[in-house]
Structure 1
Amino acid sequence: MYAHILVPVSFDEERDAKGAMRVAEVLAEHSAKITLFHVIEQIPSYAAAYLPDGYLKERKTALQGKLESAVEGMENAAAVVVDGHAGRSIVEYASTHRVDCIVVAGHRPGMQDLLLGSTAHYVVRHAACAVHVLR
């Protein structure tokens, strides 16, 4: 079905990353690449100034380790952690890495999503490939 599937992973309790990974494996054609992808949102400089030296680098390394543990045992899988805006980073990565399907775990929208927009909503509206949203 799909040759390269991107699975954005949020470490929020309400997101079903394992379910998204299972769906990606079902949708993947033989020898397809599956990429688990996490975006570290930018911290405003006024707030980052209060963080201990090296904290952000350590956090990124820890998150990379979590994703790499999640892809252990999966054939042709990769783990990628980037800094940026979640929705834009997912769409940009998909367009520059020949992703043909994004499987994203959603959540029940609340009032904040109606006013600000959610990551899944952004990805659905802007991705140039197929997008599967899990609830």
Structure 2
Amino acid sequence: MYKHILVPVSFDAGYDHLDPFPIAKALAEPDARISLIHVLEEVPSYAISYMPDDFRAESREAIRNDLQERAADIPNAEVWVVDGHAGRTILDWAEEHGVDLIVMASHHPGLGDYLIGSTAARVVRHAQCAVHVMR
């Protein structure tokens, strides 16, 4: 059983059928913290000029609201929306906050994943804690 579980949430297509929360709840100690995190990747400079000025702030708020809805029935849940590169930021956040288990979904790899690797693969290779990957 784990005391602090991190559940990275991606809003990309391909993850809709995967629900990591039952697994996180099943592996949690009765008083465990479960942290839901979404990493906002940097928008390339060539694309940001075509977006409304308040795009990032509105995106952050919409994501936070969605995560809070998902966390509503999870005891001791926390919601985090952070900036950075998904793989590196998840690893850094887990280490800084004393996470002892990461439960995350992974899509079936595409060609790009074979060349540069997926977020889940990076987390599995470099995490300082246990990692449970759902596919």
- Same fold by TM (over 0.5)? yes
Return closer, same or farther for 1:16/1:4 CA change in 2, 3 Å cut-off: farther
Count of paired positions: 135
TM-score of the two chains, using structure 2 as the length reference: 0.95
* 2:18–2:134 CA contact under 8 A, matched in 1: no
Task: Check conservation: 1:37, 1:79, Cα contact below 8 A.
Answer: yes
Aligned residue for 2:3?
Answer: 3
**Aligned pairs (5 A) from 1:38-49:** 38-49=38-49
Do the aligned residues in 2 keep the contact of 1:71 with 1:78 (CA within 8 Å)?
yes
Instruction: Give the AA of the match of 2:46.
Output: Y
Which stretches in structure 2 are left out of the alignment for 5+ residues?
none
Q: Which residue of 2 aligns with 1:26?
A: 26
- 2:75 is aligned with 1:75: yes
Q: Which one is further off, 8-17 or 125-134?
A: 8-17
Q: Matched residues in 2 for 1:100 and 1:17: separation? A: 25
Show the counterpart of 1:88: 88
Q: Report the residue type matching 2:25 in the other structure.
A: E
Contact 1:9-1:17 within 8 A present in 2 as well: no
How far, CA to CA, are the matches of 1:11 and 1:21 in structure 2? Answer: 15
Superposition misfits of 4+ residues, deviation over 4 angstroms: none
Deviation for aligned residue 1:13: 3.1
Question: Tell me, what secondary structure is at the counterpart of 2:10?
Answer: coil
TM-superposed CA distance for 1:19, in Å, is 2.1
Distance 1:17 1:86, change over 3 A: farther
Unaligned runs of 5+ in 1: none
Task: State TM-score, norm by structure 1.
Answer: 0.95
Equivalent in the alignment of 1:50:
50
1:85-124 matches, within 5 Å, as 85-124=85-124
CA RMSD of aligned residues (A): 1.2
